[in-house]
Structure formats: structure tokens, C-alpha cells
Structure 1
Amino acid sequence: MNLYRKAYISVDEYFKIRESSEELLEYIDGAVYMSPSPSTKHQRISSRLHIKFGNFLERKHCEVFHAPFDIELKNEEIEGTKIVIPDISVICNKDGFTDQRYVGVPELIVEILSPSNQSHDLITKLNLYMNYRVKEYWIVNPMLNTVTVYSLNKENMYEQHDIKTNVGIVSSKILEGFEIDLEYLLC
């Protein structure tokens, strides 16, 4: 949800707001968005995904990070500052790490929906991640027990790579060999 109704907030104002707030705040196109506190089911899903990605990526070039970890999306073709806090990020290009955040584009992002933020993750972030060319975007919907995996095609548009509801194995397109059982993930 957009937290501040001011027409435009500068990135400096955003950082001042962050310093005095305990909330998870994102910054997209001059607007500040607050992430809701995660539910128990959300936390279980996030933890299981983090462990599975972490085990899969062990001794590989990529790393997995879980919220709260700031990602400042950076693409030379796009102006402006966007700072998001994905539930899970897989990062392979280590050049963008700073002490406070990652500046660049993760290879894979996972967002776990909450009842109050569905449109933000399903519309705003899907388009944002596609425009910045995040290669793979997973949307986990705990209310519907569904996982949808989008991957970039040759035209840099998202196409649905995989979708499962309640049961089945969900796989990654870019992390060859990575898969997770929905019954394990969503129980």
C-alpha cells in the first residue's frame, strides 16, 4: 500500500523516513510502499524456499537472500530509483553488493502474497521486474496454494514457465535442476 500520499518523495526523503521507521518500506517511482507483517504461513514458505535455494546454490556462483534485504534495481536503460524488498532474491552478479543493499538486477525474485498486497506484487512488481529484466519471477499465493513462475522470453516479456496448485513439483527455468514440491512448500 502507498504509505505517503505526497505527489513525489525524493530518494533522500525516503531514506530519512526509513531511518525513523521500523516498517519495511519500498520506494518505487517517488512513492513509498509499506509491506505488511508476514503471517505464520508466509514465514514458513519463505523459510522453506530460502533453505531449498540455499542448499541448491551451495558451492555455486549465485547466492540467495531473504527479506529484509534491499534491492536497488539498476538498469542503464531505465531512469529513476527503485528500492524493493523481495521475499527471496537469487543474485549471481556480485558486483552490485554494498554494505547496505544490492544495486543491480537479481536473476530470480520470489514474492509471497499477503491479502493486503496482492495487486502490488501481481501488477506493480511484475511489471517492474519485467522492465528491469529479472530473468525469473515466482509468485507464491498462500491463500490459493498456488505457485506461478514467470520467465523472460526473447522479447524480454514474462511468459508463464510453470504453475501448480495444491500439489506437484514447481521448477525453475534459469536454475537448471531446481525444483520444489508444493506439498512440502505450502503445508
Structure 2
Amino acid sequence: MAITTQRLTLDEYLAYSDGSDHPCELVNGELLPISLGTGKHGAIIKRLEQLFDAEAERSQQPWIALSGTVGLQSPRSDRWDTVRIPDVSVLTLEQWETLQEREAVIRLNESPPLLVVEVVSESTKSTDYRAKRAESSVLDIPEYWPEYWIVDPLVGKVTIGILLEGWYEATEYQGQSLVQSSIFPDLSVAAETILQG
């Protein structure tokens, strides 16, 4: 449900404050509050953030995993007034440093995150599987987990999409299957471990 009656531009969204700390995404100019999700949803996000940070350190990559703190300007229906806030984003440290003194929104003319994760909940199923996935393919995000990783504890699977020639090639993992990541090629973790949070 939108919380504004008039549509906002990207600049108006970046300057907007309603006095609360509740985060909102901007979708076609409308502010949409982000639901908190369940404790399990939060546990999965935390596990992935820690897993990615540990893997980046192990492989000596200058990357950082961030949960719910970076927005991505996304194209939607011929308009450029959509900003999504993924559950987890993996950025280069250089990219993260450029966001330190301004709103933490990666714009369309900037390099996209290395990897983005959405954890599915009852309230976000259709958005995570359809709208965000289509938007991210336009942005050339190399890997979008539920959009590219779609971590879906509701059905017990992790879907990883790799962008190939403008389309995502999706692979699903369940149970003991070890996920395959092009960003973290040495990552060795079973889908069920991720889904446990």
C-alpha cells in the first residue's frame, strides 16, 4: 500500500522524510513501506551477509555485503522513478566509499552491485519473483539472488540467476545441493543451510 498521494521524483524521494525510521521503496513514484518479515527472514539475511563477507575476505576481494542499506535505482514502465532496497547487496569497497557522503542509492549511470539477494516472504512473493527480476536484468546485475538469489523459505529453494546476453539463466537449489555462484566460485554451502537462517 502506497503512503503518499502524489508521485515523487527520484530527487524528492531522496529528500523525503516523514519523521520515522521506517524504510520505503519508491515504485513508479509511490512510496511503499518495506515489511519487516519474520525472524527467520532476518536470520537468513544475516547469515548471507556474514557468509558473503567471510568469502570476500577469504578470497581477498575488496568487497562488502550490506543488508537493507543500499537502494538501487531501477527502470520500470518507461519511468525512472523506482528505487528498490534489496535484502542483501554485495558491493566493491570503492563503490561503498562513494556512498558515504550521499544518499546510499546506486543510480542507473553507476556500476551495479556485484550481487543482490532478495529473501521471499508472503508479502513480497510476486514482487520478488516478477517485477524485481525484470528490473534487474535491465540493470545488468551480474547475479541477482531471489531476483537472483531468490531465497525462498516458503517453498524451500534457492534460485540463482546469472545474467547471460540480457536474460537471466536461473538454477534452483534445494536440500543438500551446493549453490553455485559466479561471484563467489569457491563458495560451498548447501541450500538448506541458507534456508535455515
Normalised to the residue count of structure 2, the TM-score between the two structures is: 0.80
State the one-letter code of the partner of 1:147.
V
What's the RMSD between the two structures over aligned residues? 2.4
Deviations 1:136-183 (A, max 9, x none): 011011111110000100x211111x2112332112123221232123
Q: 1: CA distance between counterparts of 2:74 and 2:128?
A: 19
Q: Pick one of 127, 149, 156 that aligns with 2:166.
A: 156
The equivalent residue for 1:87 is 87
Check the 8 A contact 1:91/1:107 in 2, yes or no: yes
The equivalent residue for 2:187 is 178
Check the 8 A contact 1:18/1:25 in 2, yes or no: no
1:117 deviates by: 1.1
Check the 8 A contact 1:144/1:165 in 2, yes or no: no
State the one-letter code of the partner of 2:152.
N
The equivalent residue for 1:60 is 61
Normalised to the residue count of structure 1, the TM-score between the two structures is: 0.84
Check the 8 A contact 2:117/2:150 in 1, yes or no: yes
Secondary structure, counterpart of 2:44 in structure 1: helix
The equivalent residue for 1:71 is 71
Q: Does 1:136 align with 2:143?
A: yes
State the one-letter code of the partner of 2:94.
K
Q: 2: CA distance between counterparts of 1:119 and 1:6?
A: 23
Check the 8 A contact 1:35/1:117 in 2, yes or no: no
The change in CA–CA distance for 1:180 and 1:127 in structure 2 (over 3 A counts) is: same
Check the 8 A contact 1:73/1:81 in 2, yes or no: yes
The change in CA–CA distance for 1:31 and 1:164 in structure 2 (over 3 A counts) is: same
The equivalent residue for 1:166 is 175
After the TM superposition, which parts of structure 1 deviate over 4 Å for at least 4 consecutive aligned residues?
none
Deviations 1:25-66 (A, max 9, x none): 111331222211121111111111111101000131222111
Q: 2: CA distance between counterparts of 1:43 and 1:74?
A: 24
Q: 1: CA distance between counterparts of 2:24 and 2:180?
A: 30
State the one-letter code of the partner of 1:158.
Y
Gaps of 5+ in 1: none
Identity %: 24
Q: 2: CA distance between counterparts of 1:18 and 1:159?
A: 39
Gaps of 5+ in 2: none
The equivalent residue for 1:101 is 104
